[in-house]
Amino acid sequence: MAEQTFDIIVLGGGPGGYVAAIRAAQLGMKAAVVERQHLGGICLNWGCIPTKALLRTSEINHTLHHLPEFGFAPVEAHFELDKVVKRSRAVAKQLSSGVAHLLRKNKVTVVDGTGKLAGKQTLAVEKAGAPVATLKAPHIILATGARARQLPGVESDGKLIWTYKEAMIPPAMPKSLLVIGSGAIGIEFASFYLNMGAKVTVVEVLDRILPVEDEEISAFARKAFEKQGMTIHTSASVKSARKNGDSVTVVVEANRKSQEITVDRVISAVGIVGNTENIGLEGTGVKVDRTHVVIDEYCRTGEPGVYAIGDLAGPPWLAHKASHEGVICVEKIAGLNDVHPMDVLNIPGCTYCRPQVASVGLTEARAKAAGHEVKVGRFPFIGNGKAIAMGEPEGLVKTVFDATTGELLGAHMIGAEVTEMIQGFTIARTLEATEAELMHTVFPHPTISEAMHESVLDAYQRAIHF
């Protein structure tokens, strides 16, 4: 068993971990990544990337069934599920190999195995129960991520009740499906299966779907999904699930009334649990709160020399947040003078359903609750030439400004390609732009992004095209 010394060790090779290691190498540190399974983590291998490959297929499937609207003769559109899944897995494999290349290029040492804190500045690594190496460094970053939370009474079995992982590699297309939870993961899978022809029901315990989004966007999304044929139950909870051979009967309770819904498969998407077990936190100053490691603004834990980033360190549970945390953490360790703490209100959130949803900053309700007097602008896609030409007239851009200062407090969008467009508002918030800069910005024509401009103008009664 080898003993090796580094400047920095990262436990976990996901979007937070591998980015942290590469940034450390760029800054002249000798860095190592310990990964037990797949470089790229859950996001790249079983989350963000392969789901987008699946969702792209479902978008194509939807388009093929609406060819006459674009002047084409109708065709008998059908898909081969095994090839759909194979493409998704190939995309994930390609990018995981790309991460390995990037780490080699930056001379980051990759250790294959399971790591565990083993005393001051020490990480012990084992593989299949056998010791592999003892690694030492004055700085150890924990980036072990998270896993799907299990709902009591409706635990996943990999066959009839799925987590995101099984939902990504279905052996056969279910004719009917019930999704528990309407956050980004739940809604993306609901949208995928719906657009691939399944009958989909969504059950959400809160009073609206996509509950972290602005209320208007949530309402717009629900209307759009129901128009597509999705059944949605809000203020509802799943009490139990009974397996019947090749189907599941779920008991759903809402307004003190229960009903049974029988479907081929169930997807449980009710949140995540941080991977804090078996990484040597016992006897350290690392504090865990509701399965997530507590950190300060520079990702430092209560144990000197130990840091935590990404899903392990709490919300928002987004890959780009993990990557940025990794950079902040490493640059602070390196002593850079211009390191800024993470501002979670400047982290955009994207949901890749149909229609897409994207947002950054405060919702209208949260802005008012924070004491702001607000000006709100809205612009519908039906007033945008490019959206109509694309056959995507269903959408809305909403902007929220402080009425006194003109600060852009939040931006919320639903519609085609809004996950690409949200970065414009994210940059505006980072630059602390006001309505004046946004109004004076020239948006190209014809683009859907013009709806962003019009929404800003509308907040100040200056909209041109609506």
Catalytic residues: 445
Helix, strand or coil, per DSSP, at residue 121: coil
CA 227, 229, 233, 234 dihedral sign is negative
* Nearest C-alpha neighbor of 217 from the set 411, 435, 454, 427: 411
Question: How distant is the alpha carbon of residue 423 from its chain centre?
Answer: 15
3-class DSSP assignment, residue 42: helix
| Alpha-carbon distances, residue 343 vs 107, 325, 328, 423, 431 (angstroms) | 31, 10, 11, 15, 13
Closest CA to 190 of 215, 164, 169: 164
Q: Starting from the edge strand earliest in sequence, which strands make up the sheet with 357-361, in order?
A: 349-351, 357-361, 408-414, 396-402, 374-380
Structure tokens at 332: 């602070």
Which residues neighbour 225 within 8 Å (Cβ) at sequence distance 6 or greater? 187, 190, 191, 194, 202, 209, 232, 353
**What are the φ and ψ backbone dihedral angles of 78, each rounded to 5 degrees?**
-145, 160
d(CA 87, CA 47): 14
DSSP 152-210: TTS---SSSEE-HHHHHS-SS--SEEEEE--SHHHHHHHHHHHHTT-EEEEE-SSSSSS
CB 24 within 8 A of CB 1: no
Closest CA to 140 of 8, 301, 333: 8
What does residue 369 show for φ and ψ, rounded to 5 degrees? -65, -30
Helices (H), 273-417: 319-333, 364-369, 385-390
